[in-house]
Amino acid sequence: MDQVAKTAKESHVVMTELVLPNDTNTFGNLMGGRLMYWMDIAAALAAMKHCNAPVVTASVDNISFEAPIKLGNVVHIEAKVSRAFNSSMEVHLQIWGEDVVHQYKYKSNEAYFTFVSLDPNGKPRKVAPIIPETEVEKTLFEGALRRRQVRLILGGKMKPSEADELKALFTK
């Protein structure tokens, strides 16, 4: 059964958390592992919104921290499906810290997570395609195939010689 295409904004999720003492390291910064835990939840919610089914995390791309999030600050995690493939979905996340006292918001990091949609038997289930609307959504959508090929190569599921999208970047 073919799925009806959905817009990327239909999967948009914003998750907000307050950084408490138990969430921080000895420097008073949010621990990376705690942030990744919250990111996984937000990304899973976006993927579930898109496919209307349970999902499992298939991969997490490199996460680089641009700015620490301090004790007492607020964390805003924005997640949205950037592209859907057969049974998998790439979710783009942007993470913002907010100092409520001094009233400023700053970017902490961004990442891509991949999820697989599951049927009632726990087997991969076909997902609806994504319709990107904004210029940012179109850019993320176009780059998703290359990012997917990198993930498949690094995971040993694709040979570099089979990565046509990546080869096109380096050959004429």
For 119-155, how does the pLDDT look when each residue is reduced to its tens digit (9 = 90+)? 999 999 999 999 999 999 999 999 999 999 888 888 8
Phi-psi region at 103: left, alpha or beta (left = phi > 0; alpha = psi -120 to 50): left
Q: Mean pLDDT across the chain, nearest whole number?
A: 93
Rounded-to-10 torsion of CA 100, 102, 105, 108 = -90
| pLDDT tens profile 94-116 | 999 999 999 999 999 999 999 99
- pTM assigned to the model: 0.91
Q: Which domains, ranges and CATH numbers included, belong to the chain?
A: 6-128 (3.10.129.10)
Neighbours of 108 (CB within 10 A): 20
Region 74-97 average pLDDT? 98
pLDDT band at 18 (very low <50, low <70, confident <90, very high): very high
Does 7 have pLDDT greater than 90?
A: yes
